[in-house]
Chain A
């Protein structure tokens, strides 16, 4: 049986099997999930796009949206997201992939710490870890509650709002309850900045 014709016949079977399976698993299945997704949860299925007051797509609630210059310095008007090895480009997700003892990582963290401390006007020792470390995706929209609190005075001043008002906005965008227990309390910067913009316009 282990002859060349045997192999060729099986290769023919394999090819036909594979092509038929591709129709089912590669076309019908994803299209069915697409149909169900659009019917059941269109907001999530299309990327959790949040719209501005005029109804135009403004951001994805799941993706960091950062106003930064070419050097990667984030705009002081807004809440800052975590450092990103992807420069917050939604089309180029990546981590730094630097080892825990890597001198390049050590330098980057020290530089980030100095920059955050200067931007917020606080001591370097007050800067939390998430503010100086790049996320796994480069698109993490969440920051720690501590890092958000650090930024409240700067953002409030920039928009002529009271720190209490801005802190209330932070609290509203803070993950709580079971989700915070299983994960950790964190604040969505993308949505928070949209809230700040809406409040500042009034």
Chain B
């Protein structure tokens, strides 16, 4: 397997160019959707049938309650219908899903994690894939987006306790943003070779005597939203390594573009909604710098092809697909872990040790470059608030963020946000490491075994969903603790973000003074970048040292 530097540079340049071209028009469109006052006739009908009053705005606590109730109902319904698969139509003769797997999967898809403890081919029929999992792909992505929209309103609005209407925001994001974009992407994918039918095909090769059953299914429609909504749960077990999900290098590049598309356009919408485009540019600049740095590091680590087995093979190959090449696979692996996607086109478990380490660090950064749909932007905005606090300490002034005072309450919420995910990751991984029975599910030895466990909980709590897939998490203990990690990693940050949005919306806007730290420009961008990297390093360095760093340094 060749790592072509020329191909790597070309692909990165093309991706950057396309994203720069698209982020402004898409950002303008996103802002117009979030700020729109009118509902279409179909939407009004939709609201009437669901019992939503689209003209009422909600306080932060009610907005939050709506997020939580909607997610709880989603989890329960997806769980129940998986259990009933055996008696429902479209089950492809598969029985009801085992309760632990069904619980884990329901949580996984509602939290935008899409960790797959099941083997799709032998667990999920067409109904479950299409009407349960793919629907959650849309809605969980939309939930992430509406939460950041509420935060942006909290920053932009003054002297109000209203943040918007969750149901209206959810419907508009799903039907005006995700649905048309996914439909376009799915059509491109079908033309490129991704399957979209409802049957399998028996083939017989008369010459070789080989018979095969070629699988089918509504793959393109699911693949499009899986990628666009930074979900990542594959229709097939091999995910985006499977030729029917990702048939060639062009579609693979297209998938990377789609992963980065919405998260990198949201900062422009943010700038527009707060009435200062420089704010959006600074945020997207930090995201882009982190993305580019991480992509280059990943390329370097992959090209190094370290590992005794890799050396014995004479180079990269294990876990790679021949049609993508190592350059495309390293770009994909970076994008999928810097966002909450977790789709894979190369087996991350078999990557060189430091490359696997880069993938873990990407998730540990909090997936903010550019991050999951919505969650990436709210993650980076919280880090920006922490940054103005630190800057405020240096100049001895009360910190403010876009005219809003960052007082004790705001700072506590932001600090807790920063702490929640690392605590969940390290606690769940730490507990698991102490349980020999649980560790037996990670069959690797030495530091790599620890890496498999650390990767799993980093992925779960950050709602990524990719895996060092040598680990098996289908038993009661691992299904449950992974479920807990995914729930806490998703909803605790959302609680804190919406509380912060509520307390910022109430404040008046104070005019900038000579003591105000500007939250745009190179200086603040560099500060934000440093804070992001340092927070991650302080939280995770010891764990990383025991896993990928130890393995990478062992000879």
Choose among A15, A33, A136 the residue that contacts B346 (Cβ–Cβ < 8 A). A136
Q: Which of A6-14, A149-157, A160-168 contacts B (4 or more CB under 8 A)?
A: A6-14
Q: Is the CB of A182 within 8 A of B7?
A: yes
Contact partners of B238 in chain A: CB under 8 A: 86, 93-95, 136-139
Asked whether A72 is an interface residue with its Cβ less than 8 Å from the other chain, the reply is: no
Q: Once the chains bind, are B242 and A16 in contact (CB under 8 Å)? A: no
Report the Cα distance A78→B317, complex, angstroms.
22
| B123: min CB distance to chain A, Å | 12
Residues of B close to A143: CB separation below 8 A: 322
- Residues of chain B within 8 A (CB-CB) of A133 are 1, 313, 316-320
Q: Are A33 and B187 in contact (CB under 8 A)?
A: yes
B193 within 8 A of A: yes
**B321 in contact with A100 (CB, 8 Å):** no
**A193-B207 contact, Cβ under 8 Å, with A183-B328, A184-B325:** yes
Is A136 a contact of B241 with CB atoms below 8 Å?
yes
Q: Which of A72-99 contact B (CB under 8 A)?
A: 75, 77-78, 82, 86, 90-99
Q: Which of B59-83 contact A (CB under 8 A)?
A: 59, 61-62, 65-66, 69-70, 72-74, 77
Would you call A22 and B131 a contact (CB within 8 A)? yes
Q: Decide: B236 and A194 in contact? CB cutoff 8 A.
A: no
A2 & B61 in contact (Cβ 8 Å cutoff): yes
Which B residues touch A105, using CB under 8 A?
Answer: 309, 318, 350
In the complex, whether A60 has a CB less than 8 A from a CB of chain B is yes
The verdict on A58 contacting chain B, using a C-beta distance below 8 Å, is yes
Within 8 A of B (CB), among A164-198: 175, 179, 181-184, 186, 193-194, 197
Tell me if A13 and B50 are in contact (CB < 8 A).
yes
> Would B215 and A90 count as touching, CB distance under 8 A?
yes
Q: A11-B69, A45-B196, A136-B319 are in contact. Are A97 and B347 (CB under 8 A)?
A: yes
Judge if B220 is at the interface, Cβ distance under 8 Å: yes
Which chain B residue lies CB-closest to A110? B312
A121 within 8 A of B: no
The docked-state distance in angstroms from the alpha carbon of A15 to that of B312 is 55
Determine if B206 is an interface residue (Cβ-Cβ < 8 Å): yes
- Across-interface contacts of A49 in B (CB, < 8 A): 201, 203, 214
- State whether the Cβ of B213 lies closer than 8 Å to any Cβ in chain A: yes
Q: Nearest residue in A to B59 (C-beta to C-beta)?
A: A1
Assuming A25-B135, A101-B307, A138-B238, is B205 touching A194 (CB within 8 A)? Answer: yes
Q: Within 8 Å CB of B353, what residues of A?
A: 99-101
Q: Is A119 close to B, CB under 8 A?
A: no
The residue from B174, B197, B208, B444 contacting A38, defined by CB atoms under 8 A apart: B197
Tell me which residues across on chain A come within 8 A of B446, comparing CB atoms: 101
CB contact list, B375-419 vs A, under 8 A: none
Q: How far is the CB of B97 from chain A (nearest CB, A)?
A: 17
B541 within 8 A of A: no
Please, how many angstroms separate the alpha-carbon atoms of A30 and B346 in the complex? 27
- Bound together, the chains give a CA A142 to CA B328 distance in angstroms of 16
Give the residues in chain A near B328, CB-CB below 8 Å. 182-183
Is A129 part of the binding interface, using a Cβ–Cβ cutoff of 8 Å? yes
Answer whether residue B277 sits at the interface, using C-beta atoms and an 8 A cutoff: no
Min CB distance A199 to B, Å, is 10
8 Å CB contacts to B: which residues of A99-132? Answer: 99-103, 105-106, 109-110, 113, 127-130, 132
| 30 A-B residue pairs with CB within 8 Å | A1-B62, A11-B73, A17-B52, A18-B135, A30-B130, A34-B196, A44-B193, A47-B197, A58-B205, A58-B206, A62-B244, A63-B214, A66-B210, A67-B205, A78-B208, A86-B238, A90-B212, A91-B121, A96-B318, A98-B350, A99-B551, A100-B306, A100-B309, A100-B318, A101-B309, A129-B317, A130-B317, A144-B322, A184-B322, A200-B207
Top 10 A-B residue pairs of the complex, sorted by shortest distance between their CB atoms:
A100-B307, A133-B317, A197-B207, A136-B241, A183-B249, A95-B347, A93-B238, A142-B322, A26-B131, A137-B238
In the complex, given contacts A11-B73, A36-B187, A92-B119, what are 4 additional A-B residue pairs having Cβ atoms less than 8 angstroms apart?
A21-B135, A58-B204, A63-B243, A98-B444
Report which A residues bind B (CB closer than 8 A): 1-2, 6-7, 9-18, 20-22, 24-27, 29-30, 32-34, 36-38, 40-41, 44-49, 52, 54, 56-60, 62-63, 65-67, 75, 77-78, 82, 86, 90-103, 105-106, 109-110, 113, 127-130, 132-144, 175, 179, 181-184, 186, 193-194, 197, 200-201
